[in-house]
Chain A
Amino acid sequence: MLVIRPLQEDNLEDLYAMAQKAGKGLTTLPADRDLLQRKINLARETFSQRCAPEAGLYLFALEDTETGKAVGISGIQARVGLDEVFYNYRLSVTVNASKELGVHVRTPTLHLSNDMTDTSEICSLLLSDDYHGGGNGLLLSRCRFMYLDEFRSHFSEKIFAEMRGVSNEQGLSPLWDALGRKFFDMEFTEADRLSGLGNKAFIAELMPKYPICLPMLPDSARAVIGRVHDNTAPALRMLQAEGFNFNGLVDIFDGGPVVEAFIDTIRTVRDSRNRHAMVTRKAMDLDVPAAERVMVSNRSFRNFRVTTVPASCVGIDTISLPPEVAEALQVESGDPVRLAPLKDRAKSAVKAAR
């Protein structure tokens, strides 16, 4: 069984192995033991509420209960841009017109902004290759929306995600080569690595502060502004299905888009329902396709757990849980739980059971 739970100290090696495999492109989780250890420590502090709410980093592990290993990770950064400066480019349009000459020119322009400051970010999603498919990615990503929904006071109303932008197999980013690189001699992969180590603001300080008119950039660079890396396209589609939209901001290094949504309008949040757990010894087939599964959370701040069960378990006031599932969720009969569809089609299953 696969269960979401807060990341633990003993997940370091699993996490390191995953980060190593992911390689370049996953800026927020570099394969660096010290850094990962610091992140785990911060996550532990966050769940136990030993750090300021705005400094919180909520990291969730997807654990395979059979092996006890972490096979995926996802996170929420409570607030960005508070202890360092958070930069994006805003893609906007400037119009220059002369009636006298009958000229009307639209110029797309990048403006450096700190607009996402003080906003909550969903980040650090990584799933081990062996566990792709079967809705595991959805569980890993969507469990965060259930958490955001439960503990809204710890987060901003607006939630955003930075999507990885376009770069090729050699790690070259067309936007970086046309823009960032011109301002200081550094490869994109190196800039990206330093970002992951927490030096992004330092690099941003070396970047151009004045607006950049896109016509001055080569076509190859303009083409990738607001575009995601092919590997990230499925993640973007998933977020779009949740109601996230491009908000006009792009990454200052690779031009990847920022997508945002308000907690209230996130689909998983809107489609969530409360139930009480009812542990049952009745035999049931837990192995159903992702489309027929629902996510069940235990609604715990410190020990948040989520797993999936067949939609057929959902009753009018209760949800029937086999003992092993109840144990994984650390709930007993009568405890409140919250449900949300894992996939679009499961929505009807939850609704039908209301």
Chain B
Amino acid sequence: MWLVRPALPDDVNQILEIAGTAGTEAARLSSTLPRQQAALAEKIEHSLTSLAGKMTAGDRPQRFLFVLEDTVTGKVHGTAGIDARAGNGQPFYNYRRDALIHASHELGISSRVEVLYPSHALTDHTLLCSFSITPELRNTDAFELLSRARILFIASHRRWFSAHAVVEIQGVQCPDGSVPFWNSLGRHFFDMDFETADQHSGTLSKTFIAELMPPNPVYVTLLSDAAQAALGKPHELTVPNFELLHREGFQAGCYLDIFDAGPVLEARTDALHTLVTSQSRTLHGTTEDGGDTCLICAGDGAGFRCTLARVADTLEGPVKVSVGIWEVLGKTAGDEVRVAPC
């Protein structure tokens, strides 16, 4: 059975392994997941503190990291995170793709000029991040569980999160590892390769972006053709994730990643599909193994558990699932759970 639960200090090595075995592809898909043991351990520690709900206004904003566990083997197969406030107390950088009309009445010319404006507008929005999964699980129920469990967590802890949610989708990268947008823009200013910059943004403070990023708007027409073609385009490996988030209600707007120009998806938190369709119900047992597969979660903070279960009756009243699910969720009959249809 697949279980999504908060990451624990003991998970460090297994998480690093996912990044390692999945090769650069998967590692790239979750640039906000540190690849250094110490940094990862700290991230998990921060997540546990956040889950305890003891953070005060002066503390760093809450950040959560969950793992996907195979309950039979106890092995971790993926990670998914939420930053309650994008930027985590620092500016959250994006480019906003906008347009100006350069017109001359006298010359009878009017042309549309596309411009990328540096923006912090998405700072403090809730950010879904740090998503990674072992390649063989891509496009499975486990993939969907891992991603959507976060929305259920948000639904169960709504007051911790903002009115708007965002997700950064990885942008176009060539088979040789080069990133067209970076090569045409960022490279000139950061004086480092894409991987280095990307890792820095996951681990270092964002100060280096403020220091090195060109402060001016960028004219799209001056970018290389390859970079222009990459604007707002998701990496092909992210397409399943992109589609899943789309079904969830996320839409690509005018914001782009500053390094690879991947799209930033936006949604109103209260309109997220899983959140809207989820219901708080009472847990009840059944011996039958029928019904529709649903996402089911329970528990507050560090006790949060989410799994997939066949639910006999999903219309109303108590939710009837097998006792095995009780154990995975750490709950018993009469406890409150949250259910969302798949």
Which residues does A use to contact B, with CB under 8 Å? 94, 96-98, 100-101, 103, 105, 107, 109, 179, 182-184, 186, 194, 199, 202-203, 205-208, 210-213, 215-217
A203 to B111, CA, bound (A): 12
Asked whether A182 lies within 8 Å of B211 as measured between CB atoms, the reply is: no
A206-B208 CB under 8 A given contacts A101-B192, A107-B188: no
A34 to chain B, nearest CB (A): 17
| The one of B115, B190, B212, B216 that contacts A213, using a Cβ cutoff of 8 Å | B216
A105-B208 CB under 8 A given contacts A183-B113, A184-B102: no
CB of B140 closer than 8 Å to a CB of A:
no
| The one of A105, A179, A207 that contacts B189, using a Cβ cutoff of 8 Å | A105
Contacts of A215 in B (CB 8 A): 188-189
Asked whether B213 lies within 8 Å of A96 as measured between CB atoms, the reply is: yes
A109 to B219, CA, bound (A): 13
CB of B200 closer than 8 Å to a CB of A:
yes
A98-B211 CB under 8 A given contacts A105-B191, A216-B184: yes
Contacts of A217 in B (CB 8 A): 222
A206-B189 CB under 8 A given contacts A96-B211, A101-B208, A211-B216: no
A184-B207 CB under 8 A given contacts A202-B104, A216-B222: no
How many B residues touch the partner, as a band? 20 to 34
A-B contact sample (20 more), CB < 8 A, given A96-B211, A182-B219, A216-B218 = A94-B214, A94-B215, A96-B214, A98-B207, A100-B204, A100-B208, A100-B211, A101-B212, A103-B191, A103-B212, A105-B188, A107-B189, A107-B214, A182-B221, A184-B102, A206-B109, A210-B217, A213-B189, A215-B189, A216-B184
Contacts of A182 in B (CB 8 A): 219, 221-222
A210 to B207, CA, bound (A): 24
A211 to B213, CA, bound (A): 14
Contacts of A94 in B (CB 8 A): 214-215
CB of B103 closer than 8 Å to a CB of A:
yes
Contacts of A212 in B (CB 8 A): 219, 222
B201 to chain A, nearest CB (A): 12
In this complex, what residue of A is CB-closest to B197? A101
Contacts of A207 in B (CB 8 A): 102
Asked whether B192 lies within 8 Å of A103 as measured between CB atoms, the reply is: yes
In this complex, what residue of A is CB-closest to B204? A100
Contacts of A199 in B (CB 8 A): 106-107
A210 to B215, CA, bound (A): 10
29 A-B residue pairs with Cβ-Cβ distance under 8 Å, sorted by A, are: A96-B189, A96-B213, A97-B212, A98-B208, A101-B200, A101-B204, A103-B208, A105-B188, A107-B188, A182-B221, A182-B222, A183-B111, A184-B111, A199-B107, A202-B106, A202-B107, A203-B104, A203-B107, A205-B102, A205-B104, A206-B102, A206-B109, A207-B102, A210-B115, A210-B216, A210-B217, A213-B189, A215-B189, A216-B218
The listed residue with most B CB atoms (<10 A of its CB), out of A94, A109, A199, A210, is A210
In this complex, what residue of A is CB-closest to B104? A202
CB of B306 closer than 8 Å to a CB of A:
no
In this complex, what residue of B is CB-closest to A109? B216
Contacts of A186 in B (CB 8 A): 109
Contacts of A194 in B (CB 8 A): 107
CB of B185 closer than 8 Å to a CB of A:
yes
A164 to B217, CA, bound (A): 29
| The one of B113, B185, B192 that contacts A216, using a Cβ cutoff of 8 Å | B185
CB of B16 closer than 8 Å to a CB of A:
no
